[in-house]
Structure 1
Amino acid sequence: MTTKVYTKDEIVEKAKEIAHMIANTEEVEFFKKAEEQINDNQFVREKIASLKTLQKQAVNFQHLGKERALKTMETKIENIEKEIDELPVVQQFKQSQVDVNDLLQLVSNAIANTVTNEVIASTGGDLLKGETGSKVRNSVPGSCS
């Protein structure tokens, strides 16, 4: 039984198919809706605009060596960040980011684990030990290759 050998182009094409599938999951749809809700929220837009202004002022104060003014700006920045983070729409958005990242990590791990297991199995290795066939053969006392 011969195993088909794939080209990089074929693998990249399959990866694009998987990416398309991921882009059309419930997790990604929820992410897009959550992002849209944030962008449509006037309160959030105003807070983000204030935050950007304060951050610019903080950079200027830091550049000018005005430590006390910088500390005041940093406190104001932290307060606005906390205010934004406490909003349900922002919490939903952040959770949707986590969910999409978890899905991507799941796919990445599935690929890595499957490749490892296929290499071990195809070389007659030991899946339980995670050793390829050549390592198994070379670790047996008295065996010669």
Structure 2
Amino acid sequence: MAERHTATNEASRAHEGHSHGHDQHHGHDHGPDGCMIPKFDTRDLLIRDDIMAKAKEIADMIYTSEEVKHYRLAEAQIKGSERVQALIARMKKRQKELVAFQSFQNQKMVDKIEGELVTLQEELDGIPIVDEFQQSQADINYLLQLVMSVIRDTVAQKLDVETDNTEDAPEECSD
């Protein structure tokens, strides 16, 4: 990622330094009042190093959260449970058989295997550690969605505030 970031920075600096005619695409638009409005191609957007550092810091904080600790503990217990692993293996085998019988259009066997899969899933769901594992997955997903929502809402709120303030700004661009 750092190599791409550096290469993109160098390309941007090189682009800024050369002259070009108006008939070429050159990264900005001239508005009706002559303002230069930059346009970005998503492939070329630069991600500031400080933003990436904060994102990694947040990721580390999430990784060391109680929710992730609980998830990792439940995952280890599931991997170490012979009963859970045997049920999962049986379910995978039956799912493969189900696909085969569906391709042969054998509805009687499809129905039978689907019933067995429901029974196996109910047995699996009845194991407390499986329920804990599923709940810990949901907790982590909620945490991630909450972080994303806070970032999105904060940026949107700040953009709305800035948009409201720009109404009072002069219409001419002057640098």
TM-score tier (shorter) = 0.7 to 0.9
**Could you state the TM-score of these two structures normalised by the residue count of structure 2?**
0.66
Shift of 1:12: 1.8
Q: Unaligned 5+ residue runs, structure 1?
A: 1-5, 126-132, 139-144
Shift of 1:10: 2.4
Larger radius of gyration: 2
Residue 137 of structure 2 is aligned to residue 97 of structure 1: yes
SS at structure 2 position matched to 1:117: helix
Residue 140 of structure 2 is aligned to residue 106 of structure 1: no
Higher relative contact order (CA 8 A, sep 6+): 2
Shift of 1:42: 0.7
Shift of 1:9: 3.0
User: 1:50 — aligned with what?
Assistant: 90
Give the AA of the match of 2:88. Answer: I
- 2-side partners of 1:120 and 1:77: how far apart? 51
- 2-side partners of 1:7 and 1:26: how far apart? 30
Deviations 1:8-38 (Å, cap 9, x if unpaired)? 3321221111111100100000000001111
Shift of 1:48: 0.7
Deviations 1:38-91 (Å, cap 9, x if unpaired)? 111110011111111111111111111111011100100111011101211000
Give the AA of the match of 2:74. Answer: A
Match of 1:19 among 33, 51, 59: 59
- 1-side partners of 2:102 and 2:161: how far apart? 59
Q: Unaligned 5+ residue runs, structure 2?
A: 1-45
User: 2:107 — aligned with what?
Assistant: 67
Aligned-residue Cα RMSD (Å) equals: 2.0
Aligned residues: 125
Give the AA of the match of 2:93. Answer: T
**Could you state the TM-score of these two structures normalised by the residue count of structure 1?**
0.79
